[in-house]
Structure 1
Amino acid sequence: SEQNEVAVIIHIEGIEGIQHFDEISQVEDIDVIFIGPYDMSQSLGIPGQVNNPILTKEIEKLVEKCRQKNKHVGIYADNVETARRYKDLGVKYIAVSVDLNIFGRACSSLAEKLKAL
């Protein structure tokens, strides 16, 4: 059967989103608040340092605020260990890697297997 439901997902990827979370979270019909760690690290002045305690603290605070507002939270994780850490925080929607990285790893794995022939 055809699905007629639409999920409304907004992204918080910078300092402005963190600062305006209370207003953002009051918007009705938002299903998921998605956190972008890489863009957020850039906004916080620590580009690419997604394991930096400054960023991890902000992410933990946002996840807790989402929980308090009964909002689902999503986030990007670039590996299984990071995904596990976010899952342990209570995040249920985790995007893992990006198409290009997945494809690149698969090609590298295939090349290694072919070299071993």
Structure 2
Amino acid sequence: MPFRVEPTFAQLLGQTDRALVGMWVCSTSPLVAEICAGSDLDWLLIDAEHSPNGLESILAQLHAIGPKPALVRPPSGDPVLLKQYLDLGVQNLLIPMIDTPEQALAVAQAVAYPPDGIRGVGGALARASRWNRVEDYLSRARETISLFVQIESAEAVRNVEQIAATPGIDGIFIGPSDLAASLGLLGQQDHPDVIAAIETCIAAASKQGTKLGVNAFAPALAQRYLAAGVNFILVGADVQLLAQGSDKLAATYLGEAR
């Protein structure tokens, strides 16, 4: 029986006129991922760059969240690793630390089969094709994948228009933390220079007609970027919510007794 593939995140962005609001899933727990997926948020980001996620835990989380739209961020754009993620059934990738259009093109080629790219062919063995149950998977595999790259350095901001225009890139995502560090403003995501760089990227993406997202946990910054026209945004994280919530419980019930 042919297997229906879910729409990609890029396709979902193209079907709405509002920003899609999501959160990070960093705990590596399928149960936590399932809880987060049960919210009314639009999407999730499963992180493997700064979280201890391996192939097995990512697969378990994909199972747990079901049809909830999810991007997965690998630790790098290594083509061998991307091949494994794609074969695992990851449909939407966010690649960190892309500074140049050449790097963007390299990851675009890594997610496409020849002759357009260099992805290794193992469809019959992989969950991506549901073990050959997805009809004509090899010929239309790229249609089932969306690729986003992360702008998070001063160099990347300088190159943002060319990166956004790179063939095979479905959108860009701004990482304010590393961007602030690159600008010599470590930990100052709300610094005017960081905000100005992000708004430069928003304008450049709009000019190119490229979808753009941003990370913004501070509500005032999130609202500012939403007003500026971002297409998708991350506004919190599972581990952050748990840490803050448990601290609040301790403060409420223990107070000075600690």
Larger helix percent: 1
* TM value normalised by structure 1: 0.86
Residue of 6, 20, 39 corresponding to 1:3: 6
Q: Identity of paired residues, percent? A: 28
**Structure 1 residues 20-29 or 88-97, which shifts more?**
20-29
Query: Which residue of 2 is the match for residue 107 of structure 1?
Result: 246
Find out whether 1:69 has 2:223 as its counterpart: no
For residues 88-113 of structure 1, give each alpha carbon's deviation from its aligned partner in whole angstroms, at most 9, with x where no partner exists: 11112111123221111222344456
Query: Which residue of 1 is the match for residue 176 of structure 2?
Result: 37
How much is the aligned-residue C-alpha RMSD, in angstroms?
A: 1.9
Residue 82 of structure 1 and its aligned partner are, at CA, apart by 1.8
Residue 31 of structure 1 and its aligned partner are, at CA, apart by 1.8
Distance (whole Å) between structure 1 residues aligned to residue 204 and residue 158 of structure 2: 12
Query: 1:64 corresponds to which letter in structure 2?
Result: A
**Number of residue equivalences:** 116
Residue 55 of structure 1 and its aligned partner are, at CA, apart by 1.0
Residue 71 of structure 1 and its aligned partner are, at CA, apart by 0.6
Query: Which residue of 1 is the match for residue 232 of structure 2?
Result: 93
Find out whether 1:18 has 2:157 as its counterpart: yes
**Structure 1 residues 1-10 or 91-100, which shifts more?**
1-10
Query: 2:5 corresponds to which letter in structure 1?
Result: E
Query: Which residue of 2 is the match for residue 57 of structure 1?
Result: 196
Contact between 2:161 and 2:205, CA under 8 Å: does it hold in 1?
no
SS in 1 for 2:149: strand
SS in 1 for 2:150: strand
In the alignment, structure 2 segments of 5+ residues that lack a partner are 8-143
Residue 115 of structure 1 and its aligned partner are, at CA, apart by 5.3
* TM value normalised by structure 2: 0.42
For residues 52-81 of structure 1, give each alpha carbon's deviation from its aligned partner in whole angstroms, at most 9, with x where no partner exists: 111111111110000000011111011222
